[in-house]
Amino acid sequence: MNLPKGTYLAIDLDALVSNYHFFRNRIGAKTKIIAVIKAFAYGHEATAIAKKLESEGVAYFAVAYTKEGIALRKAGISTPILVLHPQIADIQACLEHQLEPTIYNFTILEFLQKITRGTSGKKIKIHLKFNTGLNRLGFVMAAIDRLVASLEKSDELEVASVYSHLVASEDPEEKDFTKAQIKAYKAIVKALDKKLPQAFQKHLANTSGVINYPEAHFDMVRMGIGLYGYANDTRITNQLHNVASLYTRISQIHTLEPGQSVGYNRAFVTDKKIQTATLPIGHADGIPRTWGNKVNYVTIKGKKAPIIGNVCMDMIMVDVSGIVCKEGDVVTIFDTQNTLEELATNSGTISYEVLTAISQRVERVLIHQEKK
């Protein structure tokens, strides 16, 4: 395989499939998987990820915003797509591209009813979001009677699912809170089962919910970060495969004498003779400024090279003293879950943020495990 000569993100679709079936085997045969591929599939490559999972028979995709779903439709994806956070301004486009919107308040419901009133043909599938403690989006249980009464006026709409979102399913110290959420959700769907004329799908669990709360699997589960190799649980993460690996190459090597500085604002000044390497990747590519000044590192020839000075927009400089390397050599930013999670922890964040921050100007390359 001819790999890029600059910075690139390697996407291992074999690893993706392995992760998908790992979770597929942990849930009941009748429980469907909603693959969450918002934010460019968590910073990976949404179209390639979607096509591969569609070929594996995934039941649903979920995106955050309508434009993400439209991009998938234009790429030829035909699997149902749930839009988690549609806006009134793009509801019409949502319907035109056969996307299924989440209805999370009466404002968006009433707008949808207004633009669909009197239309004939196939029913429009919607998904009702309820707030059980996250306090971001969703109806509350006290609104059920008003919600049902409103829906009774709209023959055009069909409730495809009712769902909520767990707050801290990965945190054992919040087990009581999570159990209370599950209980609240069960009460909501029980009430709606009695009041809505048609059956609907139920889903509550995210990746950590799938792992820790089998009683919350219901009809469908929403798999996000787990598909990409991370599980908020070391025991499970170790059984998954890393889907994305980030690489770059050495542009130039410098030998610096004591007292010389590196990068903007002279943030790093040498106290001895060192060698540095300049790499063509910076904060415009997803390497945050918080990684600079030896907070984080890259790997060259199997050895850690600390990032020195401030991270630039398009470049970083690393200390390669003691590492035998040359201009053009491959540099690994991360290629394992442990490395990425260490980089995230060192800079006070989480794997989600590191992955989704990778800029779209970084070339994505599809590979296979054996070719890593």
SS3 call for 294: coil
Query: Which residue among 179, 264, 301, 372 is the active-site one?
Result: 264
Q: Which residues of 172-195 are buried (b: 16+ CB within 10 A; e: fewer)?
A: eeeeeebeebbebbbebbeebeee
CA angle centred on 264, ends 259 and 267, rounded to 5°:
50
Task: Specify the DSSP class assigned to residue 88.
Answer: G
Residues in the chain: 372
CB 339 within 8 A of CB 296: no
CB 347 within 8 A of CB 295: yes
Percent of residues in the chain assigned helix, strand, coil, to nearest 5: 35, 25, 40
* Cα 20 from Cα 211, distance rounded (Å): 13
Check if 38 is active-site: yes
Token couple for 106: 């009466």
Three-class secondary structure of residue 196 per DSSP: coil
- Which residues, in sequence order, are CB contacts of 347 under 8 Å at separation 6+? 288, 290, 291, 295, 296
Residue with tokens 């009695």: 194
Catalytic residue among 38, 52, 129, 202: 38
Task: Report yes or no: 86 and 119 within 8 Å, Cβ to Cβ.
Answer: no
Structure tokens at 251: 């542009």
The verdict on whether 294 is a catalytic residue reads no
Active site residues: 38, 264
